[in-house]
Amino acid sequence: MEILPGVHHLKQDLAPVYPGTWTTVNLVEGERLAVVDTGMPDTVETLILPYLARIGRSPREIAVIAITHAHGDHFCGNEELKRLSGAPIAVHELDAPRLAESVHVFGRDIHPGPADQLLREGDVLDLGGRALEVVHLPGHTPGSCGFYLRDSAALFTGDALQALGAVSQHLAFYTDPDAYVATLRKVLAMEVEHLVPSHAYLPFEESYLHGPDVRRFLEVSLEIALGLDDRILGALADVGQPATAEVLADVICRQLGWDGATDMAEMTVSAHLGRLAALGRVRADEGDPPAYSPTRQGN
C-alpha cells in the first residue's frame, strides 16, 4: 500500500514460524527507486516484482537496495533483486561482513551477496528529485541504520526501535542496551512525522506510525529499555538464588503476561546482565551459562 506519496509499504507474513507478525519491504519513489530491505526467501518473486508492475515501475529503475541491518528476514532477496535490477546492495559498514556469509533462514541456505556500498552516518542515497539520508541507529545490531526521507519527515528504521517488542519476541530485542538507549534519544531529537519500522511492535498494531503515535512509540521504547535493569534485579530477588539469563527472561516475560520467554527475550536480558555486571550490580559465576547474583551495590 502507499502510506505516503511515493512511499509504498509491502508486508510479508512470517507465519508459521512467527505467527501474528510480518516483515516489510519499502519502496521509495523518486526519478528512480530505492528498495529498503528485501525480506524473506521468495519475496522478490511473490511481492516486489508484482508490486512494481502494479505501480508501473521496472526493476531496472531501482537505484539502490538499502538494507537496514544484517538479519535474515531483511536481506534474503538481495541477490535476486540485484540480478534483476543491476542496483548496488548498500548496508552499514558494521553489519556488512554478515552479508558475505551464507545463512540458514527458515529452512533454506541463503547467499545474500556481499555489500557493494558501505554506509556511514550522513551518507545520502540519491534517487533523483528525492534522497534518503543514512542515520546510524545501533543497539539492535552494531550496524543497524535508518533511512530518512527529509521531504516527508519519514524515517525507515528496520528493527532499530522496538517499543515493547513484537508478538514473536515477548520483549524488545537488542544486543547493546547503552547503544539502544542512545539511538532512541537520537531519534527523539529528530524531526520525524512518520515512523516506519519493519514489524508491528506492541502496543501498536501497525508497522507504520504517524503524528503523535511516533513520539508515543519512542517514549514506550525508552521506558521499557530504561526500566529493564530494575526488572532484572527484581526478578533475581523473586527467584531468591543465582539465576541464568534464561530463567530471568522467563520470569520477566511471565510478569508481562506471556507464557514464557523467547530466545530473543533471553538475549536482551543477557545483554542487560552483562551491563549490570560491568557496573558491579550483579556478579556471574563460572557456569556455562553463568548464573547471576545481585551484589550489595545492585541492591
Domains and CATH numbers, the chain: 2-225 (3.60.15.10), 228-294 (1.10.10.10)
Amino acid identity, position 148: Y
Q: Are 147 and 133 in contact (CB under 8 A)?
A: yes
Please say whether the beta carbons of 9 and 3 come within 8 A.
Answer: yes
In this structure, the strands spanning 33-36 and 62-66 are parallel
The torsion region of residue 215 among left (phi > 0), alpha (psi -120 to 50) and beta comes to: alpha
For 249-266, give one letter per residue: b (16+ CB within 10 A) or e: bbbbbeebebeebbebbb
Kindly report the pTM of this predicted structure: 0.96
Instruction: Tell me: cis bond preceding 142? Omega within 30 of 0 counts.
Output: no
How many CB atoms sit inside 10 A of residue 21's CB? 19
- pLDDT value of position 298: 64
At residue 299, the pLDDT reads: 64
Three cell numbers, residue 280: 558491579
Q: Going residue by residue through the chain, which has 299 residues, state the pLDDT in tens, using 9 for 90 and above.
A: 999 999 999 999 998 888 888 999 999 999 999 999 999 989 999 999 999 999 999 999 999 999 999 999 999 999 999 999 999 999 999 999 999 888 888 788 888 889 999 999 999 999 999 999 999 999 999 999 999 999 999 999 999 999 999 999 999 999 999 999 999 999 999 999 999 999 999 999 999 999 999 999 999 999 999 999 999 999 999 999 999 999 999 999 999 999 999 999 999 999 999 999 999 999 999 999 999 999 987 66
Question: Long-range contacts: 100-106, Cβ < 8 Å, 24+?
Answer: 103/72, 105/40, 105/41, 105/72, 105/73, 105/76, 106/17, 106/40, 106/41, 106/72
Looking at residue 297, its pLDDT comes to 73
Torsion of CA 158, 72, 166, 230, to 10 degrees: -90
Degrees, nearest 5: CA angle 183-67-59 = 145
Q: Do 273 and 265 contact (CB within 8 A), yes or no?
A: no
For residues 278, 282, 287, 289, the Cα torsion angle rounded to the nearest 10 degrees is: -80
C-alpha cell recorded at residue 19:
505467527
> What phi and psi, each to the nearest 5 degrees, are found at residue 217?
-60, -45
Contact 84, 113 (CB under 8 A): no
What's the pLDDT at 259? 96
